[in-house]
Amino acid sequence: MKVHLNKITSSTRNARLSRDVVVGSRIIAEEGSILAVRALDRKSTYNEVEDVHGRMATVNQGDTLAGVLGERRALHGYSGIIPEKVDVGDVIHLLNLGGVLGLCTSANPDVGPACRVEVLGQIQHFPHLGERVGQPATIRTNAIPPVASIGASIPLVYVSGTCMNAGKTFAACEIIRGLTTRGLRVGAAKLTGVSLRRDTLKMTDVGALIALNFNDAGIVSTRPQSAPAVARSLVAALNAPIEGAPLDCIVMELGDGIMGEYGVQEILRAPDLMAHTRAHVLCANDPVGAWGAKEWLRNELGLALTAISGPTTDNSVGRNFVTEKLGLPAVNARSAGDELAGVVAKALGRG
């Protein structure tokens, strides 16, 4: 069956789909399978999807979309799973703005019920010109290849947080902006989370020469089992020359929180990924989170922080706590972004 797609979501971008696709009735119910679905609801909140170019578009009732089967474990959004079996005509849900599809198991009241979608079929991929029989499309097509381990690497800068919405992306972007203005060639990555291109586009907007995320490695959403391998793939890719020359450093955001379910802890426990760290900035929502994160990272993983940012540094009350009780620089990315970049530049030996 042929389907004309009204929306091609960003999670599918590895497959480089066209608007008109062929769909098959046999559906492989596994992460990465690309489906054509029809929206059954018209929502007033959480009613958009991101296309392959990063543009946000409203989902209207009756729209046909290309999305990807995957899981989500979001504190401030939807949680969902991949059903054991998916058939044409089944009703599943749109789990995130990037077009991740699955069965919603829990919803945050702020975003309302997940948008229901009817499964039209699995989109078919025709890798060779003239082929009449397609193959089930997946985002593993054109993905960055895996690597076993990281040996040598250019310096790495990690930005982590106590949970979602702690200011990690903003802090990472201010660091990238400040390092770039200091003359460094900066690459960027988002290592964990659920498919969405928005954050890496922000990174290139502020000066990163290249910005990758786990979706580029063929992963819809990271898990403890997959996160370290995905991180290695992205670090290896960013160690290759960009525009004919090596990068000076890579700024990497760890999506979600250090104790979330997307595999951040597993990355922080990987010796080969930590061996090349020159700076680690933590974003915290409050003083308790800042204190707990520092203690846990030090006592459980033997890792030290370079600075604290995020909402806990919004005014002098939080900043004084961080500097006096934790003995760390407290630098607010919103009001002192260049200062935060300066702290990282000093850690890189470029202060």
Cα–Cα–Cα angle for 222, 286, 300, nearest 5°? 55
Domains and CATH numbers, the chain: 2-136 (no CATH), 156-347 (3.40.50.300)
Q: 69-83, 86-100, 141-155: which range is least confident on average?
A: 69-83
Grade residue 130 by pLDDT with cuts at 50, 70 and 90: low
Quick one: DSSP state of residue 169?
H
Quick one: DSSP state of residue 139?
T
The whole-number pLDDT of residue 73 equals 84
pLDDT digit string (tens) for 54-87? 999 999 999 999 999 999 987 778 999 999 999 9
Sign of CA dihedral 9, 11, 13, 19: negative
The mean pLDDT of 29-45, rounded to a whole number, is: 96
Distance CA 225, CA 275 (A): 20
Grade residue 127 by pLDDT with cuts at 50, 70 and 90: confident
SS3 67: strand
The mean pLDDT of 311-330, rounded to a whole number, is: 97
Type of residue numbered 235: V
Quick check: 25 pLDDT over 80? yes
Q: 7-16, 43-52, 122-131, 299-308: which range is least confident on average?
A: 122-131
pLDDT digit string (tens) for 214-272? 999 999 999 999 999 999 999 999 999 999 999 999 999 999 999 988 999 999 999 99
The owner of tokens 């992460």 is 31
Distance CA 59, CA 55 (A): 13
The whole-number pLDDT of residue 291 equals 98
Is the pTM higher than 0.85?
yes
Quick check: 128 pLDDT over 80? no
The owner of tokens 């000066």 is 207
Quick check: 292 pLDDT over 70? yes
State both tokens at 298.
Answer: 């030090």
Grade residue 137 by pLDDT with cuts at 50, 70 and 90: very high
pLDDT digit string (tens) for 159-208? 999 998 999 999 999 999 999 999 999 999 999 999 999 999 999 999 99
What are the φ and ψ backbone dihedral angles of 308, each rounded to 5 degrees?
-115, 135
Distance CA 14, CA 140 (A): 7
- Specify whether the CB–CB gap between 255 and 162 falls below 8 A: no
pLDDT > 70 fraction of the chain, expressed in percent and rounded:
99
